[in-house]
Every structure is written in C-alpha cells, then in structure tokens.
Amino acid sequence: MTSLFLFGATEGGLFDFDATLPLMAVQVVLLTFILNALFFKPVGRVVEEREGYITTSRAEAKQKLAEVQRLESELKDQLKAARQAAQKVITDAEQDSEKLYKEALALATAEANASRESARREIDSQRDSALTQLKEEAEQLGNLIVDRLLAAK
C-alpha cells in the first residue's frame, strides 16, 4: 500500500495497479491477433488480389491499345494505298476514254472526209457527164437548126 501512496493514488482511483492492467493488455493483444486472423488478413488478401487484377487489366489494356493503334495504322496505310489505286484506275479510265474518243473522232473525220471526197468525185463525174451530154445535145440541136435552115433555103 505504501507504493500506492507514492504515486499519489488512492484505492480504486485513476492509477490502480492491480491485475486489471495486465489482463487488459492481454485482452488487447488477444483481440489484435483475432482481428488480424479473422478480418485484416482476408481483407488484405482481397486488396492484394484486387491490385493484381487491376495491374494485369492495365497491362492487358495497354497491350490492346498498342494493338489497336498498330491495326489503325495498318488500316490507314491500306486505305491510302486503296485510294491511290482507285485514283490510278480512274486516271487510266479517263485516259482510255480520251484515247477512244480521239480515235472515234479521227475515224469519223476520216469517214466524213472520204464521204465528202467520194461525193465530190461523183458530182464532178456527173457534171462532166452532164456537160458532155449538153455538148452533144447542143451539137445535135445546132445540127438540127442548121439542117432546118438549109432545108428552108
């Protein structure tokens, strides 16, 4: 009891050092082990699993993003090549069309010139024939006039 008076405490006061203090310390330690075993370890395990899942998900997402970017780049290159090929096909088709147009125009012009030349030759032939016939008729008419004038004399 004298030791209690040294600390300035009375029996049942604030600093009562009987068996309660060690018993409370044992309860706190025991409660800590029980809570650690029943609550903190499972929660810690779940948190670690969740962190592992998040880490793997992020890694997979980065890989998929890189794959998507690579595929997008490839598709852009393919689209560019396809556009160039289509433009080349269009240009070739335009050139072929222009070539066919020029050939058809040249052929039509040649046929028109040939037809015009043929018509000119035919007209010249008919004119010469008509002139010859007119000369013959004029000569016959002249002879007929001369014959009638001579017969009338």
Q: What is the pLDDT of residues 63-84, one digit of tens each?
A: 999 999 999 999 999 999 999 9
Amino acid residing at 29: V
For 7-24, the pLDDT digits (tens) are 554 555 566 666 777 888
* Cα gap 32→41, rounded to integer Å: 12
How buried is 4 (Cβ within 10 angstroms: 0-12 exposed, 13-18 middle, 19+ buried)?
middle
Contacts of 10 (CB under 8 A, 6+ apart): 4
Q: What is the mean pLDDT of the chain?
A: 87
Residue 39 confidence class, pLDDT cut points 50, 70, 90: confident
Neighbouring CB atoms inside 10 A of 95's CB total: 10
Domain positions in the chain: 2-152
